[in-house]
A and B are shown apart, each in its own frame.
Chain A
Amino acid sequence: MKISFTLNGAPTSLEVDPTERLLDTLRYRLALTGTKEGCGEGECGACTVYLDGLPVNSCLVPIYQVRGSTVQTVESLDPAGLRPLLTSGATQCGACTPGVSMTACWIRDHPELLATHTIRELLAGNLCRCTGYDGIVDGIGATLEAGA
């Protein structure tokens, strides 16, 4: 089937198998390889993208679901906004990192969430095996300060 959606701000149309995962469409059809596959079952968050503004695991989204929607991937993030995460040691091996960047920016852009949740709670959908999360939590904190 033919599908149209907005990808990183640009109108996009392509022919797909409707059951294909959004993750595979991004990676293997559109060469947007910043979005990673860590588990393929919605546990690790490495494939996090924004679907209509909300973070989702793109491995769990069949492509037909994004018809007419807006998709943003890690490639759409402003690198300057990620600098605090670099300094804090938020990335080591980097395989979880694009997903972490997406979640970090989402928290930064929705600081009202911190009234009811801790950074550690909001980050719990992104598994990282390298950092023990301290570098990420510190970096998100610094990102919030930089944005404030």
Chain B
Amino acid sequence: MDRLEGLAKLTGRERYVDDLPLDGFLWGATVRSPAPRGRITEVRLDPRVDWSQFTIVDYRDLPGPNVIALIVSDQPVLAAGYVRHVHEPVLLLAHPDRHALRRAVAAVTVAVAPEPAALDFRVPARAPEIQYGTDNVLKHLAITKGDVERALADAPIVVEGTYETGAQEHVYLEPQGMIAQLEGDVLVLRGSMQCPYYVLKALKHALARDEQRLRVVQTPTGGGFGGKEEYPSTIALHAGLLALKSGKPVKIVYDRGEDMAATTKRHPSLVRHRTGVTTDGRLLAQDIEVLMDGGAYVTLSPVVLSRGIIHAAGPYACDHVRIDGRAVFTNAVPFGAFRGFGAPQTHFANERHMDRIAARLGIDPAELRRRNLLRDGQSTATGQVIGDGTDRVALLERALTLADYDAKRAEHARFNAASAVTRRGIGIATFHHGAGFTGSGEVMLASRLHVAGLPDGRVEVRSANIEMGQGTLTVFTGLAAARLGIEASEVVIAEADTARVPNSGPTVASRTAMVVGRLVELACDALRTRVGLDQQAAGDSLRSAIRRWHERHSAEELIGEAVYERPPGIVWDDATYRGDAYATFGWGAYVAEVEVDLRTYETRVTDFVAVQEVGHILHDRLARGQVQGGVAQAIGWALLEECRWKDGAMSNAQLTNYIIPTSDDLPPIRVAFIENPYPLGAQGAKGLGELPMDGPAPAILNAVAAATGADPCTIPLTPERLMEIAP
């Protein structure tokens, strides 16, 4: 089956939020803070502008609490006299003419009496910079297994390392956008988003409006990558406030510059490792400290930190592990969800560190991993015993074979000895990614999904999980058709509209195919039961049973419902961070080959092999696309994508100098799957979307280390950075 909406996208017929026809509407825009911290002393409107032509909204217009409801209620919808980061929203304007609006935004001056700003998460804040608790620490989490101090003291060799990663901008190609419109008494929000029910919750709270008078509808979404997980709540509230005040439809669509400067990014990180090893390379103790820059509000930082520390020790067996994680407040634009959600940062550190250990011991990096990869029956840092039957060493061997690893190492040694200006190298990374929400997350979400039988005999899947390019529409259609023995053309996927679909949870955390897809299957079964059929019933008997049911129950809805249930045997303790952190993990072994130009210090990835075990593959072309796209995004993070900061603001918020990979920057990405069906995932699928973000950066830097003899520990590894550390 080809991607269902693919031809509409290729021909330009797919309509995104800014493409929707809309009459008599106002454009909305946001006036933002010019300073990272301080009291707003004046919001001055240039008297030369006729402001009576504009709808103007500030914090005093909020019907409810001035808070964007998420984990912690600390982020205002609009600054109330005080700002904590550059670009913090202060004032909203709306006007029918977009150009007049742009000029009006420039005619507002926000004056701020500056106060000392915390701008470097890596160093402890000085007293005047403390703004959160007693130490600016937003969240502190720890994992303990065994006795690390003693194991380190007893270890024959201890290897240390410090690793840093920078912020990364999502660069979904469709910028954030939202339309707010009153339809009768109902405020309807239509826009680009991953989580309609997050938006609904935020609207309900800050607008003090009951759910019957709110409706959130996802429009075709041009990429998300986490960037449209929590942020759309903000823009929805802004558009909603302007629509309520003006009584007209309001559309806010960010341009690229505003989107890059003012919305969330991947958390910068600093990770320190102290590892005890035997002389033959067995891990004895892992002592890991993780610091992440949370930015000016809590947003999702506690959960990003959580996933980060749970993955920090890698897919290795070690009896003594201590991981200490802190997310730190700074006066930066809040960092937020981004594909991988903390794990890419800690995997980067751990996998670079493994190569440092290998170099110290004089062991081949592949051999070091072979000796330490988790075997079934061994446990992770949280004490989760792995027993899924996946052979992680075989996964690595497959990747090494596909990449021709041993031969390439020998060939590179000869090449490098002969070349004056070019160095070649090959590097690997082995890693894992927990699928679905962490710990008790899925249980607390309690996702619900409906499959409705329609009067004409077709079925409709009603879920809040959205299509943003990853293939939800196609995958859900395929799952329902296969489960019910009907044609794909007989399956309708309902628009993600909170007035029509139940809350099947957010479209995040690599959970949609595995967790929600399983609910599609169970809801199909429930539908069969509703019409009095047994579970083998399919095709014609089902179609006619659905039609007959509707003949007997006119104007009623025929719905099969599924609700998430905790998988048997999964135990997690949030207080101690012990137990089964995830229902299951995907496993990866990636190999990168690079060429470094010693004249320019540019690094080019010349070959990339991505082997993974993510359960059963539901749709080969879509799955490959997820891996190839994730690898490409991670190559950008590793080598090109640098957010540059000046006084708390991103100074390169444009695609001219924030560089993402083009087709000419990337090699073909060679993808292979080893399939080991996961019994509790849809058709045996595990989560897949985020895993590919975890492995490429360390594999590439390991390859650069092999090529040049440098020991790079910071990404992005720009030519400037490599020049500084090259031997």
Contacts and interface: CB of A to CB of B under 8 A. Distances in A.
A82 B8 CA distance: 10
Interface of A: 27, 31, 33-41, 43-44, 46, 73-75, 77, 79, 82-83, 85-98, 101, 118-121, 123-137
Nearest to A90: B10
B223 A129 contact: yes
Given A79-B11, A93-B9, A93-B173, 4 more contacts: A36-B173, A93-B172, A101-B11, A127-B171
Label chain A's interface by main secondary structure: loop
Contact of A132 (B16, B19, B469, B629): B629
Closest 6 CB pairs of A and B: A34-B12, A93-B469, A95-B222, A94-B9, A132-B628, A132-B632
Contacts of B662: 123-125, 127, 133
A134 B12 contact: no
B607 to A, nearest CB: 13
A91 B10 contact: yes
B11 A36 contact: no
B255 A74 contact: no
Interface stretch (B57-65, B307-315, B407-415, B619-627): B619-627
Contacts, number: 182
A127 B632 CA distance: 12
Contacts of B220: 94
Contacts of B15: 33
A93 B628 contact: no
B324 interface: no
A30 to B, nearest CB: 13
B3 A91 contact: yes
Given A35-B12, A40-B255, A132-B631, A93 B223 contact: yes
Interface stretch (B35-43, B121-129, B354-362, B653-661): B653-661
A41 B663 contact: no
Interface core residue of A31, A74, A101, A129 (most chain B CB under 10 Å): A129
Contacts of B666: 120, 132-133
Interface string B645-677: 000000000111000101111101100000000
A139 B171 CA distance: 23
Contacts of A82: 7, 10-11
B223 A31 contact: no
B174 A36 contact: yes
B621 A38 contact: no
B221 interface: yes
B655 A41 contact: yes
A86 B668 CA distance: 19
Contact of A33 (B12, B173, B222, B630): B12
A22 B67 CA distance: 40
Contact of A133 (B7, B12, B632): B632
Contact of A135 (B7, B19, B175, B628): B628
Contacts of A85: 10
A107 to B, nearest CB: 12
Contacts of A127: 171, 173, 655, 660, 662
Interface string B628-643: 1111110000000000
A20 B679 CA distance: 57
B13 interface: yes
B390 interface: no
A89 B621 contact: yes
Contacts of B8: 94
Contact of B2 (A36, A77, A86): A86
B6 interface: yes
**Which of the four size classes fits the interface of chain B?**
35 or more
Given A44-B655, A86-B2, A132-B632, A34 B664 contact: no
Given A39-B655, A86-B3, A94 B14 contact: yes
B10 A129 contact: no
A40 B21 CA distance: 21
Interface string B360-383: 000000000000000000000000
A43 B19 CA distance: 21
B256 interface: yes
A116 B345 CA distance: 40
A94 B469 contact: yes
A20 B3 CA distance: 36
A74 B11 contact: yes
Contacts of B221: 93
Interface string B202-233: 00000000000000000011111100000000
A136 B621 CA distance: 12
A77 B628 CA distance: 27
B625 A135 contact: yes
Contacts of B170: 129
Contacts of B495: none
* Residue in B10, B175, B633, B668 with the greatest tally of chain A CB atoms within 10 Å: B10
B629 A98 contact: no
B5 interface: yes
A80 B625 CA distance: 22
B664 A121 contact: yes
Given A89-B3, A91-B6, A120-B664, A34 B13 contact: yes
B227 to A, nearest CB: 10
Nearest to B665: A124
Nearest to A46: B173
B663 A120 contact: yes
B9 A97 contact: yes
Contact of B173 (A38, A123, A124, A135): A38
Contacts of B628: 131-135
A55 to B, nearest CB: 15
B629 A39 contact: no
Nearest to B224: A93
A79 B7 contact: yes
Given A33-B19, A44-B655, A87 B2 contact: yes
Contacts of A124: 662-665
Contacts of B10: 79, 82, 85-86, 90-91, 94, 97-98, 101
Contact of B174 (A93, A133, A137): A93
Nearest to A136: B663
Nearest to A128: B173
B223 A95 contact: yes
Contacts of A126: 663
B670 to A, nearest CB: 9
A91 B9 contact: yes
Contacts of A91: 3, 6, 9-10
Contacts of A73: 12
A5 to B, nearest CB: 19
B621 A94 contact: no
A74 B12 contact: yes
Given A33-B19, A121-B664, A129-B172, A89 B622 contact: yes
